[in-house]
Structure 1
Amino acid sequence: MTLEPIPASAVGTPTPDAAAQPPETAGAFVRRRRQASGLSINRLAVRSGISASTIGTLERGRTPLQSLWTAAALAYALKADPYALAIAAGRSYPAATRSDRDRGHRTVRASDIAGPHRTLTCFGEMLYLWRIRHNRTLTQVAELTGADRLWLSRVERMAAAPSIPTVVKIAYGLNLSRTELLVLAMRDQHCRNLYARENMVYAPHVRDLYARSG
């Protein structure tokens, strides 16, 4: 199966008054697109497979959007940009790690980790390459990001999808671009959905690509 490249729109679609208004939240994004499509919350629930109560609390700002799967389902049901929704959802999770606040270095582009002649294939590859290049263990990454080490191991092996707050924790803890990591994680979710439709599992073997590098 041929994977689709990340579209140029992945940087997010600004709202009409983006220059004058604060950044749009995930709930506001969903409500705006739902109303523009003439859909009720119940109708969107049927289309997306997400419960009406979940959509309602999200739109009212009572609960943040945590799941990439939920974000993708809502975006596709609304015929909206899933990358823009993931980026909006990430804004609900501010920096929470001391390592990021203390370091104060310039944020590094995640795409730079792969080197000048190739692109990252998945989120797990990004995490693995960062560790190799910085000579860090998963335990050390867990300490930097505040994420669970065992869960990070599954994410790196592409055996599990990270939640949106986990992506944000990793971005801040490793001093990487939050937007780029959210886009990369959503691309993986898009691939998972494509593979699932063919009764296949999207599970690239990240470490096998770099077996010779140790």
Structure 2
Amino acid sequence: MTPRSAVGDTGTPDAAGEPVETAGAFVRRHRQALNLSIDDLAGRSGISASTIGILERGRTPLRSLWTTAALAYALKADPYSLVIAAGRGFPPASHSDRGREHRPTTVADIASPRRSAVCFGEVLYLWRTKHHRTLTHVARLSDTDRLRLSRIERMTAAPSIPTVVKIADALDLPRTELLIVAMCDQLRRDRYAHEGKAYTPHVRDPYTRSV
């Protein structure tokens, strides 16, 4: 079953003010509010009851954007709030590109004069362009396979939640912002799939003229 959130409007993230809680606690709270058993939620979401059970008990983190979107839809909950809660479950990266003259950086800070970043791959590409960094450099900082990172940047592969967190920490960008961008992509990806299409935005040099 395709999550409703993935076939309608992606909505506006309003998760910043949510109280701190784990992804498992989030799922349990919303499930109990709907008077659903774990088996009921499994049937609604397409996620196995065993996976939901160990997630709620905190024995495994929520790693998949698709699973996050499916659970959020089944629970009639905000997918952005759930992905942010999931992102809190992963430790910070051991490396960062933060320099001596560091100042807080946001996704808006790395956008081009012509347009804002429209997908996760473009955020990564624009950051590299702005800071003159190679994929190899970012892969080393984020402890991510370079080929996998290249596919994520070209939007031919979706990142996992821990990969989003590692990239955010390595690039010294806010986790919350990158998790929201990644979830926007996932909702679009699922909506396109529902329509029998593939969501493959083309990431190109924003300073190059269109022909």
TM over 0.5: yes
User: 1:149 aligned to 118, 142, 146, which one?
Assistant: 146
- Name the CA distance, whole Å, in 2 between partners of 1:67 and 1:150: 19
Task: Tell me the residue number matched to 1:70.
Answer: 67
Deviation (angstroms), 1:78: 0.5
Task: Tell me the residue number matched to 1:205.
Answer: 202
Q: Is the contact between residue 105 and residue 175 of structure 1 (CA under 8 Å) also seen in structure 2?
A: no
Instruction: List alignment gaps of at least 5 residues for structure 2.
Output: 1-7
- Name the CA distance, whole Å, in 2 between partners of 1:102 and 1:112: 16
Task: Tell me the residue number matched to 1:169.
Answer: 166
1:113-141 deviation line (CA, Å, top 9, x unaligned): 11466322100000011111111110011
- Name the CA distance, whole Å, in 1 between partners of 2:151 and 2:52: 29
- Count of equivalent residues: 204
Greater relative contact order structure (CA < 8 Å, 6+ sep): 2
Greater helix fraction, Structure 1 or Structure 2: 1
- Name the CA distance, whole Å, in 2 between partners of 1:103 and 1:146: 22
Distance change >3 Å, CA 101–CA 92, structure 1 → 2: farther
Q: Is the contact between residue 55 and residue 61 of structure 2 (CA under 8 Å) also seen in structure 1?
A: yes
Structure 2 residue 34 is matched with structure 1 residue 37: yes
Instruction: List alignment gaps of at least 5 residues for structure 1.
Output: none
TM-score, normalised by the number of residues in structure 1: 0.88
Structure 2 residue 87 is matched with structure 1 residue 90: yes
Across the aligned residues of Structure 1 and Structure 2, the Cα RMSD in angstroms comes to 2.3
Task: Tell me the residue number matched to 1:159.
Answer: 156
Identity %: 65
TM-score, normalised by the number of residues in structure 2: 0.89
- Name the CA distance, whole Å, in 2 between partners of 1:95 and 1:104: 21
Structure 2 residue 45 is matched with structure 1 residue 48: yes
1:158-179 deviation line (CA, Å, top 9, x unaligned): 0000000000000000000100
1:68-113 deviation line (CA, Å, top 9, x unaligned): 0000000011010000000000001121323368879343111221
Distance change >3 Å, CA 85–CA 138, structure 1 → 2: same
* One-letter code aligned to 1:206: V
Q: Is the contact between residue 93 and residue 165 of structure 1 (CA under 8 Å) also seen in structure 2?
A: yes
Q: In terms of mean alpha carbon deviation, does 170-179 or 106-115 score higher? A: 106-115
